[in-house]
Chains A and B, each alone.
Chain A
């Protein structure tokens, strides 16, 4: 489906904006919202581009920059912090050679900070695309990254 097809599945009602942005981003190869798609959406819903841009930048799940095949969302909220998330974040940055908000050169991984993932019983936790991983340790994150690299 082209971006235009995705947009036209919805009624021309402004309350569909978030749903459209979600769908466009999910369908994008690089998991992001290129400017062209924001323009298309704005035009379809009859909204100013600045408004659509404002919405897209407000929510942390939307990205205006291309991202890797796997988006790692690491939780740093207080429960995960208490259980050692800071060490895990540092480790991830070292292993991937990138900072939070960046993508690896091979376009494989993007590292992002996430709000509470609601799996605090297995803190520290992270999500890789739609998959949740908990009870993270240095060894465990190494394994997960390996697994993803191999699986591709």
Chain B
């Protein structure tokens, strides 16, 4: 094996791909070849570093120097100045970062601030398409631990229960309990499904986990399969996520080759196999029963619950459906133990959470911090505050099925319990920041249009209700509304909450009520004669 004096990591995710990362990589390799540096300097593709919207990024190790917005034209200087002469190219955008200690921060602001990473810990340090690097970075050690001990399935479930891990898809159901229900459900044939149908507007955490560390999900699903007594799993990925599908398939193939997936895994009696199913563009399929219908090859119409998937899921067999981020925590919990996991986050909501910070902020991106981190810190320290020095008006938390949070609630800790106390939701972890110039009514209108488009049409409250809400909001927006219309919107979404079949129709009350309660005067403004 050759030793390289310098490694250059190039994060490849959908964001950098659209900035031309492959061309930069090709030219960089050419440049190195030209100067006979190919034996000294290694160029590696990795998963995301969590810096979004800053173009192509190069990370130079061991200095941990980050260059952002890198263009092909910058490469000769980076090679000449930095790689040969050892001088930082100061006029290019750069910073250093140490995710583990946070000591070498150049900035207190932005995505380089200290983070505690569990699910995204590995993704930026290795090539996700190379299983040997994944193994060297600690891949499959959770699975290896339980299979070699061997730990009984019950003991695995107990450990997950003790960790206090709760579903990261939005509902926050205790993961260990879900596993236990599925294990105890009658039947020999059981399934594990990874819900990677990430469609909540403003959310892309699952995509970056899939792109950056697909082996982590394979390992997690195997552990889940072992715990509940299943031999077969499905990863249901959104049809639009091309890179995720490609990397996941590659990971599955490699894992099979290394006897980490398939029959008699690691020469133990445990067998488990995985298959990718590709979605075809339907927001509703993120709902677990709709997802199951879609997996069976049908329209994604949600089922009436109960019975729940834990007893009657895929082909009416007991089925465990877990979100990507939830599963991504599992290998670390098993490897380090539940006590370690509980060191992060709050008592009722342990662990970390991946947040996507978007909209009018200085540094849009993705961070992983302990549950309970105050919203103000996330927006103003990690997100760098409101762009162009404007004033903060509101944050939409949790995507379209989320709430508008006013300035007075900025200090709320971001965990399931604290948010619930403040009539808000964590949802998927999307934080959309809006500046003083934003019209709340306009944003609400956009949300309502989204729901009207995505309603599956199966039940009338949702099919008709979403349409009526769009019409009411339109009327108000055009200045033809009255205060009564606003009250009707709240009443209607309340009725939809009580009568809709699935969470889609039930969740419109969140954005509607929070917008009306917190921004009533503003929404009423167009109604007042000018």
A residues bordering B, Cβ < 8 Å? 13-19, 21-22, 45, 51, 54-55, 58-62, 73, 76-79, 81-83, 113-123, 125, 127, 130-135
Contact = CB atoms under 8 A, between A and B. Distances in A.
B298 A121 contact: no
B277 A19 contact: yes
Interface residues of B, number: 56
B358 A120 contact: yes
Nearest to A133: B18
Interface stretch (B38-46, B202-210, B253-261): B202-210
A82 B359 CA distance: 7
Contacts of B277: 18-19
25 contacts: A15-B296, A16-B297, A17-B297, A18-B278, A18-B297, A19-B278, A22-B239, A22-B278, A22-B280, A54-B299, A58-B299, A58-B300, A59-B239, A59-B280, A59-B281, A76-B450, A77-B201, A77-B446, A78-B447, A114-B240, A116-B199, A116-B202, A119-B15, A120-B356, A134-B53
A105 B454 CA distance: 29
Contacts of A77: 201-202, 400, 446, 450
B514 to A, nearest CB: 14
B240 A118 contact: yes
Contacts of A121: 15, 52-53, 204, 356, 358, 364-366
B200 interface: yes
B358 A123 contact: yes
Q: Interface SS of chain A: helix, strand, loop or mixed? A: mixed
Contacts of B207: 118
Contacts of B434: 82
Nearest to A131: B18
B55 to A, nearest CB: 9
B280 A18 contact: yes
Contacts of B300: 58-59
Contact of A122 (B53, B438, B442): B53
Nearest to A52: B297
A132 B63 CA distance: 32
B283 interface: yes
A54 B457 CA distance: 13
Contacts of A117: 240
Given A59-B282, A60-B281, A118-B204, A15 B295 contact: yes
Contacts of B399: 78
A120 B201 contact: yes
A134 B299 CA distance: 31
A22 B356 CA distance: 30
A118 B278 contact: no
Contacts of B280: 18, 21-22, 59-62
Contacts of A13: 297
B201 A78 contact: yes
B242 A130 contact: yes
A119 B432 contact: no
